[in-house]
Structure formats: structure tokens, C-alpha cells
Amino acid sequence: MKINKGLALTLLVGLGISAVASDSLINEAKKAGLKPIPKDKAALNKLIDNPKNKLTPEKIELGKKLYFDPRLSKSALISCNTCHNLAIGGDDNVPVATGHKWRHNPHHLNSPTVYNAVFNQRQFWDGRSPDLEDQATGPIQAPPEMDMHKEMAVKVVKSIPEYVEEFKKAYPNEKITIETIGKAIGAFERTLVTPSRYDDFLNGDEKALSKEEKEGLKTFIQVGCAGCHNGVGLGGSMQPFPVAKPYKYANVGDFKGDKNGMVKTPTLRNIAETAPYFHNGEVWSLEEAIKIMGETQLGKELSDKEVKSIATFLNSLTGKKPKIEYPILPNSTKDTPKPNLD
């Protein structure tokens, strides 16, 4: 009996051969340290929670308001959302973070995305912050970002009775300080996870990724990308950079990583939406970024085919964003410090 190609494929699929192939890729991915965002709500909640800042609806709602509130900046024009804009991938899509008085980050650093930042082991490019709650207090005070004196930020919040009330409900046993402001913002940020088809795939839905995307995932693992880009975040750990060859645009800015030359690996989730790439935002093309990473970190000249295949996979990491109702913020009072544009 002569069997044509189409029929053979149908038979193979019928026999579960394709399923086995996907299944082994899922195992391969898991062996390489890749982990999905859990489908199960309770498991996800456990994963994103912080024992020192247990998530509650009150904290999340308050944190959302503060995240969008420009009055936490000296000018009253810049909020967390200015540089970590939830409408455009959770970052600002410009090479260098730009803040108060149009100042640029002095090390020419690029704003990383806030989406899935909860999965990072450390925060900031040099990993100097242990978690989102701590991180959130930094840009509020940094002169090239929101440039707000921490006591001023507290004064703003305390001058608005609705905020005082919400803090009482969210943190009944804590005073309003820059740290509790950071905790509320961190609580909100913990909810900003974006499950994608890739997660469906790792969670067992073998049809969630296309053939090309699966091939890309395979290439991604085989050439070694998952060596650093692993875990739930496909990134987020501190890693040496550069490893095999100097980074092509190292001359832009003076960032050298932490004191050991370690740099926080960026998450690859929503990477298609978060150009420009690298700590100094010098690369706009995802393909070029992949090529550079091959050279710089893996010491490999990736072929165009490999680059394209990996890019195809990375595009499947664009996830579903949580629905966010734009907040109506409580009104300032006569006691609210006036903005300072200078």
C-alpha cells in the first residue's frame, strides 16, 4: 500500500507521534530551566506573593493609584507609568530613561519593563535592589527620574485624606513612609504578569505554539540562550556580561554591572514590545540583539536561520496584559505640596 505524505502525517498525528515530539520539547525546556506562569490561580498567587508584603486587594488598588500618580514626582508630571508605561510593553521605548527637567539617566541606562518584573531575582540593571517594593522607592527619589525628596512624597500622600484612609486599610499597623509607599506600589506591580501561548505550551497544550515557534524554542535551548534566560521570567538573574566578546556598543554610557561585573538578565517576556534593547538601549532590532547575544555571551556566530528561528519563538512570548481601569486619583488639598518644575 502506497501512503502519501499528507495521509502519513495524519496517521502520525492520530497515533500521537506529534504529541510525543511536543512532549519531549516540553521536557527539554523544563530540563533547561524554563518554567511557565502557572495556570492555576492559587499557584500563581503563591508565586507572585511577598511574605513581607502579603498581597491584598486593598494594597493592590492603593498601589495602582500611586503607580499612576504624577504627584509623587517633584514636578507632579512624572509617574512610575511614565517610564514603565503599561500601554506600550511596560517600558518607555526610548534608549535612555528620561525624567525631571528632561534629564537622562547618567549611566545611559534603558528603562526595563515592569511586566513580569516580579519574576526577577533582583531589581535594577546592577541588581542592587532585592524586590519590587524596595525598587519602587528608588526612581521616586532619583534626580534624573522623579526627583522627589522622600519626605515630600510622604507629605503629598498624607495631605490627601483618601490616601490616608486607604493606607490605614492596606497597612493598618504601619506609618506612611517612603517604604510603605514602595510596598503598595510593589504590591500592584506583582500583579503585572502576562501569560502567553508559550505558557499554555509549557503547561501541556501542545498546539499552543506553531511548528516554527517550537523549532525556535528548540534552537533557543540548543544554542544556549536558556543558560541565562530561564526560570518563569526567562531572565531575571544576575549573570556575567560580557562573557565571550566585548559588547558591541559598550562605549555608550559607563555601565559596567555590579561590583563583580554582573548584570541582571532582562526578561524575554514581551521582548517584541520592549525595543530598544540592552542596558543602554542601543539596539532596535530583535534579530540584531539575538546575534549580539550569541557573540557576546555564547561566543557563537549564529546563522541567519538560527537568529530568525529564535526571533520567531521570542515573538510567542508576547503575553496577555491584565485589564487595568485607569484610576481617578483623589484630589489634592491645600496642604498638598505644590509642584516644582525646576
Residues with active-site annotation: 145
Contact criterion met (CB below 8 Å) for 35 and 232? yes
Q: Record the cell numbers describing residue 173, joined without a space.
A: 499597623
Task: List contacts with a copy of itself (CB under 8 A).
Answer: 68-71, 75-77, 82, 85-89, 92-96, 98, 101-102, 104, 272-273, 275, 284-285, 318, 321, 323-329, 331-332, 334, 338-339, 341
CB 66 within 8 A of CB 72: yes
By beta-carbon proximity to a copy of itself, the closer residue of 191 and 332 is 332
Distance CA 285, CA 222 (A): 22
Toward a copy of itself, which CB reaches closer, 207 or 326? 326
* CB atoms closer than 10 angstroms to residue 294: 22
Q: What is the torsion angle, in degrees rounded to the nearest 10, for the CA atoms of residue 42, residue 46, residue 47 and residue 48? A: 100
Beta bridge partners of 231: 34
User: Minimum Å distance from CB 83 to a copy of itself?
Assistant: 8
Q: How far is CA 156 from the centre of its chain?
A: 28
Distance CA 126, CA 302 (A): 27
Q: Which of 77, 69, 124, 68 is nearest to 100 (CA)?
A: 77
> Nearest approach, Cβ of 11 to a copy of itself (angstroms)?
38
Q: How far apart are CA 36 and CA 21, in angstroms?
A: 19
Nearer residue to a copy of itself within complex by CB, 209 or 271:
271
C-beta closer to a copy of itself: residue 301 or 342: 342
User: Is residue 316 a contact partner of residue 268, using CB atoms and an 8 Å limit?
Assistant: no
Minimum CB separation from a copy of itself for residue 98, in Å? 6
Provide CB contacts within 8 A for 24, sequence distance 6+: none
Provide the minimum distance between the beta carbon of 119 and a copy of itself in the complex, in angstroms, as a whole number: 20
Closer CB to a copy of itself, residue 72 or residue 263? 72
CB 292, min distance to a copy of itself, A: 17
